Amino acid sequence: MPTYHPQLTADGQLKHLLSIDGLSRAHIERLLEAADPFVSVGDREVKKVPLLRGKSVFNLFFENSTRTRTTFEIAAKRLSADVINLNIGASSTAKGESLLDTLANLVAMNADMFVVRHSESGAPFLIAQHAKSGVAVINAGDGRHAHPTQALLDMYTIRHYKKSFHNLSVAIVGDILHSRVARSGIHALTTLGCPDVRVIGPKTLIPTDVHRMGVSVHHDMARGLEGCDVVMMLRLQNERMNGALLPSAHEFFKSYGLTAQKLARAKPNAIVMHPGPMNRGVEIDSPIADGQQSVILPQVTFGIAVRMAVMASVVGA
Amino acid sequence: MPTYHPQLTADGQLKHLLSIDGLSRAHIERLLEAADPFVSVGDREVKKVPLLRGKSVFNLFFENSTRTRTTFEIAAKRLSADVINLNIGASSTAKGESLLDTLANLVAMNADMFVVRHSESGAPFLIAQHAKSGVAVINAGDGRHAHPTQALLDMYTIRHYKKSFHNLSVAIVGDILHSRVARSGIHALTTLGCPDVRVIGPKTLIPTDVHRMGVSVHHDMARGLEGCDVVMMLRLQNERMNGALLPSAHEFFKSYGLTAQKLARAKPNAIVMHPGPMNRGVEIDSPIADGQQSVILPQVTFGIAVRMAVMASVVGA
Amino acid sequence: MPTYHPQLTADGQLKHLLSIDGLSRAHIERLLEAADPFVSVGDREVKKVPLLRGKSVFNLFFENSTRTRTTFEIAAKRLSADVINLNIGASSTAKGESLLDTLANLVAMNADMFVVRHSESGAPFLIAQHAKSGVAVINAGDGRHAHPTQALLDMYTIRHYKKSFHNLSVAIVGDILHSRVARSGIHALTTLGCPDVRVIGPKTLIPTDVHRMGVSVHHDMARGLEGCDVVMMLRLQNERMNGALLPSAHEFFKSYGLTAQKLARAKPNAIVMHPGPMNRGVEIDSPIADGQQSVILPQVTFGIAVRMAVMASVVGA
């Protein structure tokens, strides 16, 4: 991963969105504010604004994710962009063309934006470095590294329900080790001035140096949730569940699944978040997922607005 | 299958299209009339009207059907909607998410309409029950149960060529047992006041209680076609042809394939219909499929207009 | 292949684009001129013109080619058409429907244009013969036969850099035998009055009767490039590289790969072209592909404009 931040112009404007790491508080706040009007676009009769009319947006999904691709496709279409979905894995690479040649070709087709999902950490950075001036790159999830639009929609959701970050306690629960959602979320929370970020999970799923990111570590979930305002559950990926890192889905639920009993340790008005897709009965109990404190579906709604705001920002619309 | 009809609002307006069963004659007639202006849209230089501009239509195809998906995609685009194609089978379910969670997510993205194709009878009903108010569901074929837009386009075609239903004889020929096209067609014909609906096929492919739907049963095709105005052929599905229910495609054609000789028993101006895709030489002889009495291609053209009318109706456009 | 040219109307207007063979110099020049304004559309803020608004364009790709499909999809969307992508191989044929029935159905949906890619030479001709009046067919590559939009974008590129064809020497290098790009390119060059077209390659990859097309044949690449203005490299297809026709990719590069040393034999301002995707280190050395004389990426950019011009021409827009 590069240490410089190629997502900003020389005068500090956002030209790509590659990671939350490297964005200032002002950058994040501007993006959240920019999302506000797009939330109301989703409620209109005609859910469309002409900000990206005549722009060509390419969804470059090297890793399959129908859900994330759909959110970006909807966001781009509501901005009136032309959207081209490319399943890159299945195409040019089969003909032996390099990734960079494929990209150079798409740029030559006068692309305006690449939305990139890749299983390798750093791939969107590489793409941004090689995309010529005027082409914006949005990271839609790269390996274990970052998922900045997820972090932004999480922040939007928290801000919506809690108004301010300066006195919040936020707990992030589950597989911190493999989660780009957790990494990006921690960066966003600390940048926005959240004073108390806690990560909760088994030792095997928490990076040993995570405290350097300014968070406290808990292995006992009930204690970790004590008095918190926000509970961010992470998805436990299926491939972990059968692996050596965990005893079983059932055991995981007992220790780190969010139940009414454990949630009772948080503040009474604490909100419950999950990036989806949920494993009900593994990381979250169904009554909680569907309960009064759950804001999991509003996260999805805000996610469209936040992605519209990011897309509009990086093309300067 | 539910006995109530969740496709209507409290005051009897169409909010979903799930099955023909449960629609009144007035409902069906209104939909057919609504399709009239859309037929002419297909002939225009600019084949587009702005009725669904800014609406988000999701094609949810749990069962693959490129042809049906294409007709809905064209219909939605000619209404100026934004269309998102989702091959649900291949996506979230692989990640262990439940169908209802997937749907809740799409609703949270401010979906306006779901076009649903599913191999399980009743799936679109389940989806309509759980979709929140304001999201319309159109059944694009569910298991052996219903295919209401096919029935409507069939009725549109018959009305176009025969003007009225009140003195018609209509024969439906082939695999009645497994056909949602037959089920939906019979409902539509009897509701529209067609006095003589006949089903023709081998005993193994006709439900034993089909007479309760108000039709007569024939096993001899030539006799069954005697004097009829409309011959609706059904598609014989490949998987049946190799099964125990039928001797062979060749044998089937001999008994139940539509040939010039058999068609001669119908009225001289009888029309020949088929929902496609055709098995030439199995259920229909090629000269008949391409002959003067065939209205198989006009069915396709009317199908686009009827789907536009249904889509516009359920969103109240 | 038919000897008549079904791509022209009775009064000589272009109604389909099936092959360069059969087009007059005036036809080709008109298409190149028609592309000029579309190049500037690609540079605009709003890269869209309303010429094909409300038209339905079907991408019928019987052979997978994400890159070519993408260029046509972008071209159609920038003309404001509605685009439907159909992977025909995977759909109706699986249900046993014939190609001609599938096409008749799409025509009945009021299609305006078919963009056809097929592994069989002549397939787009067959489709054009059966498509009813008013439906335009564009050949996006058929077997070893033709790739007319590639030839047109190549001619556009040459004209852009060299202004005129009447005094040019053009060398086409590589697998002439299996290349529809070479066939279409040779037709276009000779039709446009290019006096010196040379094909360069090993005997096994050059058709024995190629001189009848008005070209000279070279097996020694350095000698063949002597003093030429344009070097058109062809893609060496992977399946050839492991076949009996060639010793190895490495051997091929030694004899027919474009290197600085070989390119030095051409004129100093010679341009280097390649239809993509490139096999770097097989048919072209990387420094040349990325070098000052390379116009490989401009070819891509011009390709969008040329396809827009062709689409607009065949629908008479």
Q: What is the mean pLDDT of chain A?
A: 91
Nearest CB partner across the interface for A46, out of B53, B84, B108: B53
Q: Is A37 helix (H, G, I), strand (E, B) or coil?
A: helix
Q: Taking CB atoms and an 8 Å cutoff, what residues of chain B touch C104?
A: 297
Q: Is B253 helix (H, G, I), strand (E, B) or coil?
A: helix
Name the residue of chain B whose CA is nearest to C315's CA. Answer: B45
- C-alpha–C-alpha distance, residues B286 and C101, integer Å: 11
pLDDT in tens, B239-291: 666 666 667 888 899 999 999 999 999 999 999 999 999 999 999 999 999 99
Q: What is the largest CA-CA distance in chain B?
A: 57
Predicted local confidence at residue C298, as pLDDT: 97
- C-alpha–C-alpha distance, residues C90 and C111, integer Å: 20
CB A106 within 8 A of CB A114: yes
Whether the pLDDT of residue A172 is over 80: the answer is: yes
Q: Taking CB atoms and an 8 Å cutoff, what residues of chain B touch C105?
A: 67, 276-277, 297, 300
CB C234 within 8 A of CB C175: yes
- Which of the residues in chain B have pLDDT under 50? 1-3, 92-94
Share of chain C above pLDDT 70, in %: 93
Predicted local confidence at residue A314, as pLDDT: 96
Are B86 and A77 an interchain contact pair (Cβ–Cβ within 8 Å)?
A: no
Q: Taking CB atoms and an 8 Å cutoff, what residues of chain B touch C87?
A: 66
Tally C-beta pairs within 8 A across B and C. 72
Nearest CB partner across the interface for C300, out of A55, A84, A108: A108
CB B64 within 8 A of CB A206: no
Residue with tokens 């004209």: C159
Q: Which residues contact A289 (CB under 8 A, 6 or more apart)?
A: A272, A274, A278, A280, A296
List, as one string, the DSSP characters of A128-146.
HHHSPTT-EEEEEEETTTB
Whether the pLDDT of residue A260 is over 80: the answer is: yes
Q: C239: distance to nearest CA of chain A, Å? A: 10
CA count, 13 A, side-chain hemisphere, B233: 33
Predicted local confidence at residue C135, as pLDDT: 94
Q: Which chains have at least 3 CB atom pairs separated by less than 8 Å from chain C? A: A, B
Are C102 and B279 an interchain contact pair (Cβ–Cβ within 8 Å)?
A: no
Predicted local confidence at residue C6, as pLDDT: 86
Tally C-beta pairs within 8 A across A and B. 71
Are C297 and A102 an interchain contact pair (Cβ–Cβ within 8 Å)?
A: no
Q: A166: distance to nearest CA of chain C, Å? A: 41
Q: Which two tokens stand for residue C167?
A: 């005094």
Residue type, C6: P
Whether the pLDDT of residue C2 is over 50: the answer is: no
Q: Taking CB atoms and an 8 Å cutoff, what residues of chain A touch C78?
A: 54, 56, 82
From residue B280, how far is each of B274, B290, B295, C56, C295 by CA, in Å?
11, 10, 15, 28, 51
Predicted local confidence at residue A4, as pLDDT: 57
What's the CA dihedral at C135, C140, C143, C148 to 10 degrees?
100
| Among candidate residues C37, C310, C303, the one with its CA nearest the CA of residue C150 | C303
Q: Taking CB atoms and an 8 Å cutoff, what residues of chain C touch A107?
A: 297
Are A109 and C67 an interchain contact pair (Cβ–Cβ within 8 Å)?
A: no
CA count, 13 A, side-chain hemisphere, B313: 27
For chain B, which domains are there? 25-146+301-314 (3.40.50.1370), 148-295 (3.40.50.1370)
Beta bridge partners, A118, equal: A142
- C-alpha–C-alpha distance, residues B174 and B182, integer Å: 9
How many other CB atoms sit within 10 Å of the CB of residue B33? Answer: 12
Name the residue of chain C whose CA is nearest to A91's CA. Answer: C66
| Among candidate residues A110, A315, A273, A249, the one with its CA nearest the CA of residue A189 | A273
Nearest CB partner across the interface for B56, out of A47, A64, A301: A47
CB C201 within 8 A of CB C139: no
Are C110 and B279 an interchain contact pair (Cβ–Cβ within 8 Å)?
A: no
Interface of C to B at Cβ within 8 Å reads 53-56, 82, 84, 86-87, 90-92, 95-98, 101-102, 104-110
Band of pLDDT at residue C92, cut at 50, 70 and 90: very low
Q: Which two tokens stand for residue A195?
A: 């004073």
Q: Taking CB atoms and an 8 Å cutoff, what residues of chain B touch A300?
A: 105, 108-109
Averaged pLDDT, C225-249? 83
Are B304 and C82 an interchain contact pair (Cβ–Cβ within 8 Å)?
A: no
CA count, 13 A, side-chain hemisphere, B39: 17
Interface of A to C at Cβ within 8 Å reads 53-56, 82, 84, 86-87, 90-92, 95-98, 101-102, 104-110
Q: Taking CB atoms and an 8 Å cutoff, what residues of chain B touch C98?
A: 280
pLDDT in tens, C14-40: 999 999 999 999 999 999 999 999 999
Averaged pLDDT, C188-193? 97
pLDDT in tens, A245-256: 667 888 899 999
Predicted local confidence at residue C96, as pLDDT: 59
Are B301 and C110 an interchain contact pair (Cβ–Cβ within 8 Å)?
A: yes
Nearest CB partner across the interface for C277, out of A82, A90, A97: A97
Q: Which two tokens stand for residue A78?
A: 């509501």
pLDDT in tens, A74-119: 999 999 999 999 877 655 444 556 888 989 999 999 999 999 999 8
Predicted local confidence at residue B145, as pLDDT: 85
Nearest CB partner across the interface for C56, out of B47, B66, B67: B47
Q: What is the ipTM score, two decimals?
A: 0.92
